[in-house]
Amino acid sequence: MIEITFNLDYTCQEPLYIQLYKYIKQEILSGRMEPGARLPSKRKLSLHLEVSQNTIETAYEQLQAEGYVESFPRKGVYVKEVDKDVISTTNHEPSSNYIERADNDDYEIDFSHGKIALDFFPFSIWRKLTVQSLFEDQSSMFLNGERQGELLLRQEIAKYLYQSRGVRCSPSQIIIGAGTQYLISLLTMIIGRDAVFSMEEPGFHRTREALKDQGVKVNPVTLDDEGLCIQELEKSTANITYVTPSHQFPMGIIMPITRRMELLKWADNDGRYIIEDDYDGEFRYKGKPIPSLQGLDNREKVIYLGTFSKSLIPSIRLSYMVLPPKLLSIYHQHFSIYKQTVSRLHQHTLWLFMKNGHWERHLNKMRTVYRRKQQTLVDAIEHHFGKNAAIIGGDSGLHLLLSVQNQMSEKELIESAMDKKVKVYPTSVYYENYDAARQQSIVLLGFGGVTEQEIHKGVQLLREAWL
């Protein structure tokens, strides 16, 4: 049995059980506590550390829930084998943020594509507007709001979408919701589970999982240089297709106008719809922004999805979808029983933020910030790798793919980067058929959350790891 001696900090705000949990987790992750080792009994450790058994129990439960330890009735609690591979290359994301975080602690530079450059966010303005929202009409602000989201905000979103993304809609077509995954679930109900869905292969895994979890069939359709292969789509039985035309996720393809028209033509058939996820369409670095598919559509066949998670802040959880009239009427008839999921206060604050021009200013600033980061990353890769690596999809969005000419598998690339304390990401998770993808020497690098200095250093370390 392991001896745990550890000083709990009673002056610290952090609850004792979290301190204990973190300590043990660190011991396990570092390998100092080995798989199979038995933890002290709750009673013994409680006497030893002079804390309540309840504290010990809660810490052990947290460790167990996250898979660090396993408990056997009347035998005790044992350290489990923690598969480090799983943590960074699993097909699903790790089951707990703790693991992710603990994992992140070991990295110096993290090319995450989920992170954004928060240091440029106008915190003081947002705070001011939040406080203003808290004071305005306080009683209404605390009651349930409109089912589809606050009308004033939907109106600002409609205006923005028209001006900047060419989306043509009235505020009444917009439904606000707590994240794209939630909206995908709602959309599946509106469309109906009998529909056959298809999506890009590779494509956004969260959408694929959300669709499958709704019990619908999802056919993968491969990509060519211009995006989704229409011939393959035509051959499938799908009547709904999910695409990311502004910036294919993860390949970065910007779908040219000819392919867009072909896709719209495909949809011009009873019961067919296109789901256009414009998750980072705001950020394009070369040439003019390409208007949305929705804006090209005259037959009301496109469902447009957008989010403020990438372009503003992730934590307010505010996404939206624009429904064509036919689906909107199904929503009104059958699904208006669902309450709005986004905080009314945040909706009001965002409305003020948009109405007063802060949103436009913020977007413009972020475009410059990300353009510079993107350029820095591309330059660094060209400088350090030359012909030994090729960039895929670097003209838009907050990430790019790197194809390395060194015969390493995806896992080998990630692990050798890990040895240099640099975190890069797999692309195989985005494939329905991921086996082949795992053999490719391709990884994903996000640049939204790293500084230019980190980019320079990170790419240099990657060269040391890979060449």
Least distance in angstroms from the C-beta of 144 to a second copy: 4
Pairing of strands 319-322, 302-307: antiparallel
List 31, 52, 104, 142, residue binding a second copy (CB under 8 A): 142
Site pattern 122..141 for a second copy (x: CB under 8 A): -x---x--xx--xx--xx-x
Distance CA 244, CA 253 (A): 9
Distance CA 299, CA 285 (A): 30
Residue 383 structure tokens: 């400088």
What's the Cα-to-Cα distance from 336 to each of 38, 149, 194, 318, 339, rounded to whole Å? 53, 12, 21, 19, 7
Residue 177 structure tokens: 């919701």
What's the Cα-to-Cα distance from 396 to each of 252, 293, 370, 374, rounded to whole Å? 7, 17, 9, 9
Q: Among 110-118, 231-239, 286-294, 457-465, which window interacts with a second copy (CB under 8 A)? A: 110-118
CB count within 10 Å of CB 111 equals 28
Least distance in angstroms from the C-beta of 79 to a second copy: 17
Least distance in angstroms from the C-beta of 136 to a second copy: 11
Residue 465 structure tokens: 């790891």
Q: Among 119-127, 227-235, 279-287, 369-377, which window interacts with a second copy (CB under 8 A)? A: 119-127
For a second copy, give the closer residue by CB, 213 or 224: 213
- Residues from 168 through 227 that contact a second copy (CB under 8 A): 170-173, 178-179, 181-182, 185, 189, 193, 205-206, 209-210, 213, 215
For a second copy, give the closer residue by CB, 170 or 222: 170
Least distance in angstroms from the C-beta of 441 to a second copy: 26
221 φ/ψ sector (left φ>0, alpha ψ -120 to 50, else beta) = beta
For a second copy, give the closer residue by CB, 59 or 253: 59
Non-local CB neighbours of 74 within 8 Å, separated by 6+ positions: none
For a second copy, give the closer residue by CB, 206 or 411: 206
For a second copy, give the closer residue by CB, 95 or 368: 95
Non-local CB neighbours of 226 within 8 Å, separated by 6+ positions: 253, 255, 256, 258, 259
R_g of the chain computed on alpha carbons: 24
For a second copy, give the closer residue by CB, 212 or 235: 212
Total number of residues that touch a second copy (CB under 8 A): 78
Least distance in angstroms from the C-beta of 226 to a second copy: 29
Tell me the CA end-to-end span of the chain in Å, nearest whole number. Answer: 44
- Residues from 349 through 368 that contact a second copy (CB under 8 A): none
Distance CA 368, CA 376 (A): 12
List 52, 336, 433, 439, residue binding a second copy (CB under 8 A): 336
For a second copy, give the closer residue by CB, 172 or 375: 172
Least distance in angstroms from the C-beta of 49 to a second copy: 18
Least distance in angstroms from the C-beta of 194 to a second copy: 10
Site pattern 294..323 for a second copy (x: CB under 8 A): ---------------x---xxxxx------
For a second copy, give the closer residue by CB, 311 or 378: 311
For a second copy, give the closer residue by CB, 286 or 334: 334
284, 396 Cβ separation under 8 angstroms:
yes
Distance CA 313, CA 318 (A): 9
Distance CA 319, CA 306 (A): 6
- Residues from 23 through 62 that contact a second copy (CB under 8 A): 57-58, 61-62
Site pattern 66..105 for a second copy (x: CB under 8 A): xx------------------------xxxxxx--------
Q: Which 8-state DSSP code applies to residue 429?
A: G
Distance CA 203, CA 268 (A): 23
List 43, 265, 299, 334, residue binding a second copy (CB under 8 A): 334
Least distance in angstroms from the C-beta of 438 to a second copy: 19
For a second copy, give the closer residue by CB, 179 or 458: 179
Q: Does 345 bind a second copy (CB under 8 A)?
A: yes
- Residues from 365 through 394 that contact a second copy (CB under 8 A): none
Closest CA to 169 of 263, 292, 268, 282: 292
